[in-house]
A and B are shown apart, each in its own frame.
Chain A
Amino acid sequence: MNDKTDKPIYLDYSATTPIDERVVAEMLKYMGPDATFGNPASRSHAYGWQAEAAVEQARQHIADLVGADPREIIFTSGATESDNLAIKGVAHFNKKRGQHIITCKTEHKAVLDSCRQLEREGYEVTYLDPEQNGLVDLEKLKAAMRDDTTLVSIMHVNNEIGVIQDIEAIGNACRERKIVFHVDAAQSAGKVPIDLASLPVDLMSFSAHKIYGPKGMGALYVQRKPRVRLEAQMHGGGHERGMRSGTLATHQIVGMGEAFRIANEEMATENERLITLRNQLWDGLKDMEEVYINGDFEQRVAGNLNISFNYVEGESLLMALKDLAISSGSACTSASLEPSYVLRALGRNDELAHSSIRFSMGRYTTSKDIETTIKHVRTAVEKLRELSPLWDMYKDGIDLDSIEWAAH
Chain B
Amino acid sequence: MAYGEKVLDHYENPRNVGKFDQNEDNIGTGMVGAPACGDVMRLQIKVNDEGVIEDAVFKTYGCGSAIASSSLLTEWVKGKTLDEAKAIKNTELAEELALPPVKIHCSVLAEDAINAAVEDYRKKNA
Contact = CB atoms under 8 A, between A and B. Distances in A.
Interface of A: 311-316, 319, 337, 339, 350-351, 354, 386-392, 400, 405-408
A350 B35 CA distance: 7
Interface in B15-42: 17, 19, 31-42
Contacts of A392: 19, 42, 59
Contact of A400 (B11, B35, B42): B35
Contacts of A388: 59-61
B97 interface: no
Given A315-B64, A316-B11, A405 B38 contact: no
Given A316-B67, A408-B109, A389 B38 contact: no
A400 B67 CA distance: 20
A400 B102 CA distance: 27
Contacts of B31: 389
Interface of B: 1, 3, 11, 14, 17, 19, 31-42, 59-64, 66-67, 102, 105, 108-109
Given A387-B14, A389-B60, A408 B38 contact: no
A351 B35 contact: yes
B38 A354 contact: yes
A384 to B, nearest CB: 8
B17 A387 contact: yes
A407 B42 contact: no
Given A311-B61, A387-B59, A406-B34, 8 more contacts: A313-B39, A313-B61, A315-B1, A319-B3, A339-B38, A350-B37, A387-B61, A405-B34
Given A316-B11, A319-B3, A387-B17, A408 B63 contact: no
Contacts of B14: 387
Contact of B35 (A314, A316, A337, A354): A354
Contacts of B108: 408
Residue among B3, B67, B105, B108 with most chain A CB within 10 A: B67
A185 B17 CA distance: 47
A388 B17 CA distance: 10
Residue among B33, B35, B59, B63 with most chain A CB within 10 A: B35
B63 A316 contact: yes
B61 A408 contact: no
A339 B37 CA distance: 9
Given A313-B63, A315-B64, A408-B109, A389 B34 contact: no
| B interface majority secondary structure | mixed
15 contacts: A316-B62, A316-B63, A319-B64, A350-B38, A387-B59, A388-B60, A389-B41, A389-B42, A389-B59, A389-B61, A405-B36, A406-B32, A408-B32, A408-B39, A408-B108
B36 A407 contact: yes
Nearest to B11: A319
B119 to A, nearest CB: 13
A406 B36 CA distance: 10
A408 B34 contact: yes
Contacts of A387: 14, 17, 59-61, 67
Contacts of A316: 11, 62-64, 66-67
A256 to B, nearest CB: 32
A406 B38 contact: no
Residue among B3, B38, B39, B62 with most chain A CB within 10 A: B38
B33 A406 contact: yes
Contacts of A391: 61
B45 to A, nearest CB: 15
Contacts of B19: 392
Given A313-B38, A350-B35, A386 B17 contact: yes
A390 B37 CA distance: 13
Contacts of A405: 33-36, 40
A407 B37 contact: yes
Nearest to B3: A319
A354 B61 CA distance: 11
A408 B33 contact: yes
Contacts of A407: 34, 36-37
A355 to B, nearest CB: 9
A387 B40 CA distance: 11
B61 to A, nearest CB: 4
Contact of B38 (A319, A337, A386, A400): A337
Contacts of B60: 387-389
A342 to B, nearest CB: 16
A137 B71 CA distance: 47
Residue among A316, A391, A392, A400 with most chain B CB within 10 A: A316
A331 to B, nearest CB: 13
Nearest to A404: B34
A337 B102 contact: yes
